[in-house]
Amino acid sequence: MDNNSSTASDASLATYAPGAPITGERKLNLHLQEQIPKPYIARALVAVDQSHPNGTEGRDHHDMSVLQQHVSFFDRNKDGIIYPWETYKGFRAIGCGVFLSLLAGFLINFLLGYSTQPGWIPSPLLPIHIRNIHKCKHGSDSETYDTEGRFDPAKFDAIFSKYAITHSDALTGAELHKMLQANRNLTDFIGRGIARAEWQLLYSLAKDERGLLHRDAIRGLFDGSLFEQLEKKRKGE
């Protein structure tokens, strides 16, 4: 029997509605609560899944939200502010070319910087204040980050239960494209563009030799630990 099939005994727990075939195509993991304690509670400090119930082992969260941890890799001097040249250095550190890193250093800080400012007067240096990075959450995403920057285990797991058809814990390039198409919000052209750029960059940097983007790499993206791994790999450590 399909795990997502509606039963007469408990329709209140059904995740499949026969009148909405898409709910059968994009399935949810009905056993997630057995695999992760209270998966419906978004975690503020760690990115958890079935293989990482306590988040990334041995990693200090520094009392930052998971979203803050994601961006803090690019704060190269750890002063809580990311300037365009730091974004550039961060992109270079994970293996991106000079042109892409320069483009990212300008565009990311230009698009996100003002939203994080502590006041109304914009800075010509385009700083991103990590303290306020939650204000930069965009639409057309997986919703794994909530609006405060916490990590939602159920939303993260849904990436794979819905779209990882070929391999349960990895996305192919085609499946990634399907997820991006499905996550699009109506008229959200900026959010769509940012989401596509983020995921395509992740795929180019972290896919394996078979073209698979694994769960561990995606989870590491959310808490920033993947960036640290890529930097160490590039340095040959």
pLDDT of 8-27, one tens digit each? 457 888 999 999 999 999 99
Residues 117 and 150 both lie in one domain: yes
Q: Determine phi and psi for 167, rounding to 5 degrees.
A: -135, 135
Tokens of 59: 């990693």
The answer to whether residue 35 sits within a structural domain is: no
The answer to whether residue 36 sits within a structural domain is: no
Count of domains forming the chain: 2
Residues 131 and 73 both lie in one domain: yes
What is the mean predicted confidence (pLDDT) over 157-171?
Answer: 98
Residues 19 and 48 both lie in one domain: no
pLDDT of res. 8 = 46
Tell how far CA 67 is from the center of its chain. Answer: 9
Domain boundaries, position 150 = 42-235
The answer to whether residue 37 sits within a structural domain is: no
Residues 110 and 4 both lie in one domain: no
Residues 12 and 84 both lie in one domain: no
The answer to whether residue 101 sits within a structural domain is: yes
What is the mean predicted confidence (pLDDT) over 76-90?
Answer: 98
pLDDT of res. 11 = 85
pLDDT of res. 177 = 98
Q: Assess whether pLDDT exceeds 50 at residue 152.
A: yes
Q: Determine phi and psi for 166, rounding to 5 degrees.
A: -70, -45
